[in-house]
Amino acid sequence: MSFAKADVIKEAVAQNMRQDSSWYREHDTIGTINHRTAQDRLTIGELERERTLQAEIIKRKDRLKNTIIYLFCGIILFALTSMILIISYIRKRGKTIHHEQMEKIAMLRMQNLRNRMSPHFFFNALALLSTAVEDPKRAGVNLASLSLLLRKSIENIDQMAIPIEEELNMVKAYIDLQLQIIPESFDFDIEIEEGINMQWLVLAMMIQIPVENAIKHGLMPLEGERKLTISIAEKAKDLIITIKDNGIGFTASSGRSTGTGTGLNTLLQTISLLNQRNRNKINFTIGESKSSNGEKEGVVVTISIPDKFSFD
């Protein structure tokens, strides 16, 4: 009996141990599941936070991108507006400057006309005609020269530039009269390179004014042989005009001049205004010429006029 009871007790203890073991396993499994669930919840939370952070980063990038685009568009708009305003101002200013230049050129043109129709010169010419009554041929030549100067001066009142052929004809007429007026004569020569286009435009009085100065300030005070030469040539598509005299030169004439230099100043101002409106410029230089032995001998004026220079 005692053994049987002992077996029963053992069986009961074993069964309890098995039940306890099963309970521990169940609770261990539940704990594991709960731990995993907590980890999963933690992982999900981290993913949610990361997703939110990524979304916020994307939003910030989009805002920054839009800001840069708006800023760039603003800069472009500002630049275009500024450019339009600047161009408008430049055009307006250009028109104003052009108008001012045209007014100055008109004034200079009238000054040129007054210079060409110098009362002193014409009074001398008329006096010359009166003294030549006894010589009809000579009087006729002088009258023709004077008539040419008067007629062309009136015809060219509204002309800024004239063909070089016309300018040379007026210079010849002027010199013909001067040779009769001044006490001492001088040799005069015009050298024209073959093939020169005689319709090439030059400023009115561009040649006559330097010729007048050469006669008045260079040749008239000179004792001995006097010579004046005008050369017309073409170089690199530029018209080259050279007026050369063998007079007393700059140094000797500086203290003897009684003129105001208005004609030359007017001419240089006109050239300066026209050069501002042309890419290729007129060059006007005055220098002392030298003889073959290197000594100073008179004055040489060199004028270079580009092809298709605009006088408008």
Q: What is the pLDDT of residues 281-307, one digit of tens each?
A: 999 999 887 766 767 778 999 999 999
Read off the pTM: 0.63
Q: What token pair was written down for 264?
A: 């030359």
Coil, helix or strand for 191? strand
Question: Exposed, middle or buried by CB within 10 Å (0-12, 13-18, 19+), for 234?
Answer: middle
Beta strands in 101-221 (DSSP E): 161-163, 187-192, 201-203
Q: What is the pLDDT of residues 6-31, one digit of tens each?
A: 555 556 555 665 555 555 555 555 55
Q: For residue 1, what pLDDT is reported? A: 46
The pLDDT profile of the chain, 312 residues, written as one tens digit per residue, is: 455 555 555 565 556 655 555 555 555 555 555 556 656 566 776 777 777 877 788 888 778 777 888 877 888 887 778 778 777 777 776 666 666 666 666 666 656 655 555 555 566 666 666 655 566 666 676 777 777 777 777 777 677 889 999 999 989 988 888 887 777 788 999 999 999 999 999 988 899 889 988 988 888 888 888 999 999 999 988 999 999 999 888 766 665 555 556 778 888 888 988 898 899 999 999 988 776 676 777 899 999 999 989 887
Q: For residue 128, what pLDDT is reported? A: 60
Q: For residue 248, what pLDDT is reported? A: 86
Beta-ladder partners of 242: 231, 302
213-233 exposure pattern, b = at least 16 Cβ within 10 A, e = fewer:
bbbbbbbbebeeebbbbbbbe
Each domain of the chain, given as residue ranges in start order, spans 1-110, 117-306
Number of H helices and E strands in the chain, helices first, is: 7, 7
140-178 exposure pattern, b = at least 16 Cβ within 10 A, e = fewer:
ebbeebbebbeebbeebeeebbbebebbbbbbebbbbbb
Name 250's Cβ contacts closer than 8 Å, sequence gap at least 6. 288, 299
79-91 exposure pattern, b = at least 16 Cβ within 10 A, e = fewer:
eeeeeeeeeeeee
CA distance 225 to 42: 120
CATH architecture of 117-306: 2-Layer Sandwich (3.30)
Whole-number Cα distances in Å, 63 to 35, 51, 67, 157: 42, 18, 6, 71
Q: For residue 79, what pLDDT is reported? A: 76
